[in-house]
Amino acid sequence: MGTFIKGRIDYLSGEEQTGREWFEMIDHGENAGRTLRAFCEMDDVGLSRDVSMLLDANGRPRDAFCRVVKHGARAGTTLFLCEDGQLECEGEIAATGRMSQRVPLDGQLGYLGLHPLVGDALVALSRGTDDKGTFRTVHGLANSVAPAGDEGLYAMPTAIDVAYLGEESVTVPAGTFAARRYALRWHPEWEPAQLWVHGPDALFLRLTWDQIGAAYELVELHEGR
């Protein structure tokens, strides 16, 4: 086994904390990929999200699980199985009941958005660092396109315009890190959000989105074996 990382991210609106996210990353060693786990709480909408993902050595999803609970009731539970040319989704959604999907893919899925920030930050790996300052569309799948990630909860296409903006030093409550900065644009008319990630695994450091007055920061980080 390789390194084991755990930490916490705070969700902020101005000076008010509106939620939090605990996460773990377990490196399986020898280029075998890693497991990412996250538990998220969003106080403002009464939501909790439990996510586990297996990623390959390039940060691409191989399988994933997501359970969303809203106001104390299960909104949906889904399992995603990714293989070359296809994604399978099996689950139960409170609004619609049991469901089963087969989504054809052009090769292997590069990005699966299940809405924990440590998972959303992986869009940086799909974008890369070439052509600095230019927006490029990252196509993938998500279980919701709602801002809180609480609607739909099945596999649906998503497209995010992402620009690599360069390297800089970023200080968050968890410390000071060498970071790569990206701009994320979910809609052509929306102001881009700003994302900072660290290292080859795109560890989430910070995200700000002035359009909704929100900020998200890494406040704790622990590493071991």
- Residue length of the chain: 225
Beta strands in 58-131 (DSSP E): 61-70, 73-83, 86-93, 97-104, 112-113
Residue 3: per-residue pLDDT: 84
Residue 225: per-residue pLDDT: 65
Binned average pLDDT, 10 residues per bin, the chain of 225 residues: 89 94 92 93 96 94 97 97 96 96 94 96 96 96 91 94 98 98 91 96 96 93 86
Cβ partners under 8 Å of residue 187, min gap 6: none
H or E element in which residue 144 lies: none
> Token pair of 52, please?
């586990």
Residue 201: per-residue pLDDT: 93
Three-state DSSP state, 57: coil
From the number of C-beta atoms within 10 Å of its C-beta (0-12, 13-18, 19+), residue 63 rates as: middle
Beta strands in the chain (DSSP E): 4-13, 16-27, 34-42, 47-55, 61-70, 73-83, 86-93, 97-104, 112-113, 135-142, 156-172, 175-185, 193-198, 203-209, 214-224
> 4 with 225: CB under 8 angstroms?
yes
Residue 144: per-residue pLDDT: 94
Residue 26: per-residue pLDDT: 95
Residue 14: per-residue pLDDT: 87
